[in-house]
Amino acid sequence: MADTILELKDVRTHFPIHEGFVIRRQTGTVKAVDGVSLSVQRGEVLGLVGESGCGKSTLARTIMQLVPTTGGTVVLEGKNLTAGSTDEIRAVRHDLQMVFQDPFASLNPRMTVFATLAEPLLVHGRCTAAEATGRVAELMQLVGLAPRFMQKYPHEFSGGQRQRIAIARALALRPKVIIADEPVSALDVSIQAQILNLLSQLTRKMNLSLLFIAHDLSVVKHISDRVAVMYLGKIVEIGRAVDVIEHPRHPYTRALVSAIPVPNPEIERTRQRIVLPGDPPSPINPPAGCAFHPRCPHAAEKCRAAVPALRPDGGREVACVRLGEF
C-alpha cells in the first residue's frame, strides 16, 4: 500500500541459552520472534494478539530496537532501523514511542508528572525550560488530566491516571507510531474502557499509527482496524479485525476466539467451545512443521512436514496448510 509507515520483513529475534559456569557454552536458542513480516499504515491501528510467551512483547521491543535483532529488517518511514548506527536510531526514536503494560512500574516514582513529561521535550530540544510548563499542561489536557496535578508524584494517582501519564509521555514528542504493549491489561473494566476510548480518540486526532498488543481479543477487536494473531514467534493469521475475530480461519485463532467467555449466559451455555489440550510448546524446542500441530484438532500428517507460510485468503493471510480442508 502507498502509505506504509512501519514495515517489518522477516524479523527474527533469538536469544542464546548458555549453560555451565567455568566452560560456558551455548546449549540452545529461544526463538522468541521467528520470521515476522507485517506493515502498519499511517493512521492505522494494528492489533497484535497471542498468549503469553508467543513473542508479542519481544516483537515490540525489537521494533523499538530495545533488543538486538537476529535477522530481518525494521523500516520506519524508509529508514532501516536494524542497520542503523546508534546515532541514526537516536535520530528517529522520537517518531517511535512506547506505552508499557504496568503503569506502576513504568513511571519513575521519584519524578513528578512535570519532570516525567518535560524530560523528553527538553532532551530533544523541543522547547525551552520556560516553555515547558505550558507544553506539559497541554499534554496533560490532551490525555484528560488536570494540569494542576503537575507537581504530584505517580503514587498519588490511580492506575488509570498513571496510564494516562504514560500515554502523555509517549505523545510528548509527537511520534508517528506508538507501540502499546498491553496498556489496559492491568486495569479494571470500567477504567479500561476509559483508556481505550482515549487511545482511539488520540490516534484519530493526531493521525497516529498504533501497534496495540493485548491478549484480550474483545479489546483488540474494539480498537483495531487490522489484527495479527501470533503463535510461538510467528504470525498465523492477519487481516481486518472484524473478519479475523468474527470469522477466524486458522485453527488457533478459532480456538482463541472460542475460549473467550461471552458475558451472556444464554449464548455462553449453548455455544460449542473448542477447548485446546495442553499448553503452548516451548520456543526453545518448537515442534517440527506447524508449531500448532500438537494441539490442533485438525492436524494431519502434512502439518508435521513443513512450516506453513502465510498465504493470502480472501483479503487476509493465513498460515495453515490444511486451509479449506476442514
Partner 1 sequence: MPLLSVKDLRTCFHTRNGIYRAVDGVSFDLERGETLGIVGESGSGKSVTCYSLMGLIPQPPGRIESGTAVFDGVDLLRATPAQTRAIRGKRIAMIFQDPMTSLNPYLRISEQLIEPLLIHEKISKAEAMQRGLAMLEAVGINDAAKRIRYYPHEFSGGMRQRVMIAMALITRPEILIADEPTTALDVTVQAQILELIKKMQQELGMAVIFITHDLGVVSGLCDRVQVMYAGRIVETADTRELFRTPRHPYTRALQQSIPSLQAKGAELFTIPGMPPDLSKPLAGCAFAARCPQAADRCRHETPGLTAWKPGHEQACLRVQAGEI
Q: Which parts of this chain interact with partner 1 (CB under 8 A)?
A: 51-52, 158, 160, 188-194, 196-197, 215-219, 221-223, 241-242, 245, 255-266, 268-269, 273, 275-277, 279-280
- Helix, strand, or coil here: 295? helix
- Helix, strand, or coil here: 124? coil
Closest CA to 50 of 246, 192, 182: 182
Grid cell for residue 257: 476466539
- Tell me how far apart the alpha carbons of residues 18 and 56 are, in angstroms, rounded to a whole number: 23
CB of residue 78 to partner 1, shortest distance in Å: 33
Grid cell for residue 95: 517518531
* Alpha helices by DSSP H, 173-240: 189-206, 217-223
CB of residue 182 to partner 1, shortest distance in Å: 13
Q: Among residues 84 and 287, whose Cβ is nearest to partner 1?
A: 287
Q: Among residues 2 and 275, whose Cβ is nearest to partner 1?
A: 275
Q: Among residues 215 and 322, whose Cβ is nearest to partner 1?
A: 215
- Tell me how far apart the alpha carbons of residues 284 and 302 are, in angstroms, rounded to a whole number: 22
CB of residue 105 to partner 1, shortest distance in Å: 17
- The answer to whether 99 and 93 have CB atoms below 8 angstroms apart is no
Q: Among residues 2 and 267, whose Cβ is nearest to partner 1?
A: 267
Grid cell for residue 141: 489536557
CB of residue 92 to partner 1, shortest distance in Å: 33
Q: Among residues 27 and 158, whose Cβ is nearest to partner 1?
A: 158
Residue 26, φ and ψ in degrees, nearest 5: -80, 125
Kindly give, in sequence order, each residue whose CB lies less than 8 Å from that of residue 213, ignoring residues fewer than 6 positions away.
47, 48, 49, 56, 57, 59, 60, 179, 180, 181, 182
CB of residue 3 to partner 1, shortest distance in Å: 23
- The answer to whether 177 and 211 have CB atoms below 8 angstroms apart is yes
Q: Among residues 136 and 245, whose Cβ is nearest to partner 1?
A: 245
CB of residue 251 to partner 1, shortest distance in Å: 12
Q: At what angle do helices 113-123 and 159-171 cross, to 10 degrees?
A: 10
DSSP state of 279: -
- Tell me how far apart the alpha carbons of residues 72 and 62 are, in angstroms, rounded to a whole number: 11
Q: Among residues 219 and 310, whose Cβ is nearest to partner 1?
A: 219
CB of residue 192 to partner 1, shortest distance in Å: 8
